[in-house]
Amino acid sequence: MILVIAEKNDAAKQIARLLSESGKPKNDKVYDTPIYRFRRGGEDWVCIGLRGHILAPDFPTALQYAPDQGWFSVTEDGEVLPASVPENLDRPPFSGANQVTKAGKPKKPFTADGVDIKGWKVPSLPYLVWAPVEKKPAEKGIIRALKNLAKKADEVIIATDFDREGELIGSDALAMVRDVNQTAPALRARYSAYTKQEIEHAFDHLVELDQDLADAGESRQYIDLIWGAALTRYLTMAKFGGLGNVRSAGRVQTPTLALVVAREKERQAFVPEDYWVITGACSKGGEPFKVGHTKGRFWKKDEADAAWARVQDAKQATVTDVAKKSRKAQPPAPFNTTSLQAAAAAEGLAPGRTMRIAESLYMDGLISYPRVDNTVYPSSLDLKAQVKMLKGVPAYGPACDKILAGGQIHATRGKQESTDHPPIYPTGVGDPDKLDPAAWKLYNLIARRFLATLMDAAVIEGTKVSLDINGEPFSAAGDVLAYPGYRLAYPYGMKKDEQLPELATGDVVAVDSLSLDAKQTEPPARYSQGKLIQEMEKRGLGTKSTRASIIDRLFDVKYLKNNPVEPSQLGMAVIEALHEYAPTVTTPEMTSELEESMTHVAEGGLTESQVVDQSRALLAGMMDSLIEHKDDLGNAISDAVTADARVGTCPKCGKDLVVKDSPRTRSRFIGCMGWPDCDVTYPVPGRNGDKIEPLDEPCPECGAPRLRVKPFRSKAYEQCVNPQCPTNVEEDVVVGTCAACAEAGRHGDLVAHKSERTGKRFIRCTNYDECGTSYPLPARGKLSATGETCEHCGAPVVEIETERGPWRICVNMECPGKAEKKAAPRGRGRRASK
DNA sequence: GCAAGGTC
Domain boundaries, chain A: 2-55+137-209, 60-115, 217-269+526-636, 274-330+459-520, 341-455, 650-727, 741-823
CA distance linking residue A422 with residue A418, whole number of Å: 8
Size of chain A in residues: 834
Q: CA A336 to CA A340: how far, in whole Å?
A: 6
**What span, in angstroms and rounded, lies between the C-alpha atoms of A8 and A642?**
45
Nearest residue to A227 via CA among A554, A600, A584: A584
pLDDT computed for residue A827 by the predictor = 36
Tell which residue, A256, A48, A19, A265, has the closest CA to residue A141.
A48
Is there contact between A615 and strand B, defined as CB under 7 Å from any strand atom?
Answer: no
Q: What is the pLDDT of residues A213-247, one digit of tens each?
A: 999 999 999 999 999 999 999 999 999 888 889 99
List, for residues A6-56, the tens digit of each pLDDT value: 999 999 999 999 999 999 999 999 999 999 999 999 999 999 999 999 999
Q: Name residues of chain A where pLDDT drops below 50.
A: 95-97, 821-834
Beta carbons of A35 and A29 less than 8 angstroms apart: yes
The CATH class of the A217-269+526-636 domain is mainly alpha
CA A218 to C1' B6, in angstroms, rounded, equals 13
Cα separation of A575 and A578, whole Å?
A: 5
C-alpha dihedral over A630, A636, A639, A643, to 10 degrees? -140
Closest CA to A735 of A663, A810, A668: A810
Question: CB of residue A759 closer than 7 A to nucleic acid strand B?
Answer: no
CATH (one of 2.40.110.20, 1.10.287.990, 1.10.290.10, 3.40.1190.20) for A341-455: 1.10.290.10
Instruction: Give the span between the Cα atoms of A200 and A288, in whole angstroms.
Output: 67
Strand B contacted by A252 CB (< 7 A):
yes
- Residue A472: the pLDDT is 97
A210: left (phi over 0), alpha (psi -120 to 50) or beta: beta
Q: Which nucleotide is nearest to A242 (CA to C1')?
A: B1
Half-sphere exposure of A188 (CA within 13 A, CB side): 22
Looking across all nucleic acid strands, the nucleotide with the smallest C1' to CA distance from residue A169 is: B6
The C-alpha angle A510, A513, A518, rounded to 5 degrees, equals 145
3-state DSSP helix/strand/coil % of chain A, to nearest 5: 35, 25, 40
Cα–Cα distance for residue pair A289/A40, rounded to 1 Å: 73
Instruction: Assess whether A527 carries a catalytic annotation.
Output: no
CATH topology for A274-330+459-520 is: Topoisomerase I; domain 3 (2.70.20)
3-state secondary structure (DSSP) of residue A424: strand
What 8-state DSSP symbol labels residue A585? G
Protein-contacted bases of chain B (C-beta within 7 A) = 1-8
CATH code of the domain occupying A2-55+137-209: 3.40.50.140
Neighbours of A116 (CB within 10 A): 18
CA gap A812, A685 in Å, rounded: 23
Distance (Å) of CA A150 to CA A28, A200, A393, A558: 16, 23, 46, 45
- Of A30, A27, A53, the closest CA to residue A169 belongs to A53
Statement: the CB of A338 is under 7 Å from strand B: no
pLDDT given for residue A57 in this prediction: 97
CA A271, CA A286: separation in Å to the nearest integer?
Answer: 43
Side-chain half-sphere exposure of A758, counting CA atoms within 13 A: 10
Say what the pLDDT of residue A163 is: 92
Dihedral of CA atoms A367, A373, A379, A385 in degrees, nearest 10, equals 10
